Amino acid sequence: MNVVARRMARHALTVPGTTPAEVVRAMCGAHAQVMSAAELSIGLRIPGITRDQVRDALWVDRALVKTRGPRGTVHLLPTEDLPMWLGAQEPLLERTSVLTDPQVDEVVAAIADALRDAELTADELTDEVVARLGPWAGERVMEAFQDKWPRWMAAMVPATYRGAMCFAPNKGRKTAYTSPQRWLPGVAPDPEGPVRLLHRYLHAYGPATPAHFARWLSAPQRWVNDVFARADVEEVPGGFVVRDDVEWSDEPPRGVLLLPYFDAFVVGSHPRADLFPGAAWERALNRGQAGNYPVLLVDGVVAGVWHQKRSGSRITVTVEALVGLTAGQRRGLDAAVERVGEFLEGRPELVLGPVTAGPHA
């Protein structure tokens, strides 16, 4: 059973994708806390695609939507899949101590109304919500980075998971928000979302256990166990797969890839020890957390870290390999560096040596 080769193919790492939406669906979301890394994650999976084309898929074609995905973190998701994601995430909402349940409902409705045809920063949205609900919504009661946020912000996650808000293009350096109804009119949580998402996850990451799915989604184990009980899955060595999805590659994983910060393949694959063997466990993980370092992937396992620095049109790509590279693997690394430079529209220069940059927060 060649689990790694199967996962790499399904993540469009060895079998190229064709469109950004197709690739992001295969990945179960592209982590977009670092937007440039999300763009590169997608671009490396589609031969010849440009960064502008990836951006157009989000902001012009609206085939992708920027919102909260697994673990509540910012992701790019296929617009057509948004009902599934909302349906899977809404049951995971936790109650907040600064808003009553009726107040949450009021704030979500106010956000939906304010963003229906607008793109607003947090300050602008505060004004709109307070204008609709009154001063109580703007009271600064939430602890936040040596400051206090207004009360209404406690309902931002519920508003996201109920389909009332998503991200808009930044306004300068400020984050902005809008309505996902502009991407997908009438969008609402799909009641079958949890089971549909589990099937999608197992297609990309299986075999996987309920504990793996719970960690990936940041969901209570009891809730996850119930979703598994309702899903059409079967147990195989190493965990579960969608029933009858038992095709495996006869060939071992091959190839050299440079994956950016928080690439989905790295973050979601388990067991961790298989993906981060030997020295990679200490060097490429941050206190056991994957994704904080861009990684060098050689034949399906992490074999180093890398960092890129731009100066004008020149892009210096420093690669710290933790294993010796064969002549063929070195040629593969050269090709991977060229692709990074091509996508970032610069002249790449490979440097083999220590990476001094620390992990991303």
Tokens at 201, concatenated = 């996850």
Are 27 and 264 in contact by the 8 Å Cβ rule? The answer is yes
Q: Does some domain include residue 86?
A: no
Residues 235 and 266 placed together within one structural domain of the fold: no
Q: Return the CATH number at 223.
A: 1.10.10
Domain that holds residue 159: 93-182
String of b and e for 49-67 (b: at least 16 CB within 10 Å)?
bebebbbebbeeeebbbbb
Give per-residue pLDDT as tens, 253-278.
Answer: 999 999 999 999 999 999 999 999 99
Q: Quick check: 13 pLDDT over 70?
A: yes
Residues 137 and 119 placed together within one structural domain of the fold: yes
Rounded Cα–Cα distance for residues 186 and 163 (Å): 9
Q: For residue 1, what pLDDT is reported? A: 60
Q: Does some domain include residue 287?
A: yes
Question: Residue range 31-55: average pLDDT?
Answer: 97
Rounded Cα–Cα distance for residues 25 and 258 (Å): 20
Total-model pTM = 0.95
Q: Quick check: 339 pLDDT over 80?
A: yes
Q: For residue 144, what pLDDT is reported? A: 72
Give per-residue pLDDT as tens, 86-96.
Answer: 999 999 998 88
Work out how many domains the chain is built from and give that number.
3
Residues 342 and 324 placed together within one structural domain of the fold: yes
* Residue at which a domain ends, from 252, 270, 289: 252
* Residue at which a domain ends, from 232, 252, 272: 252
Q: Does some domain include residue 341?
A: yes
Question: Residue range 145-159: average pLDDT?
Answer: 90
Q: What angle separates helix 35-43 from helix 20-27, to the nearest 10 degrees?
A: 100
Give per-residue pLDDT as tens, 95-131.
Answer: 888 999 999 999 999 999 999 999 999 999 999 999 9
Burial class (CB in 10 A: 0-12, 13-18, 19+), 119: middle
Residues 228 and 260 placed together within one structural domain of the fold: no
Determine the distance from the C-alpha atom of residue 259 to the mean position of all C-alpha atoms in its chain, rounded to a whole number: 13
pLDDT band for 142, please (50, 70, 90 cuts). Answer: confident
Residues 152 and 213 placed together within one structural domain of the fold: no
Residues 319 and 341 placed together within one structural domain of the fold: yes
Q: Does some domain include residue 76?
A: no
pLDDT band for 248, please (50, 70, 90 cuts). Answer: confident
Q: Does some domain include residue 67?
A: no
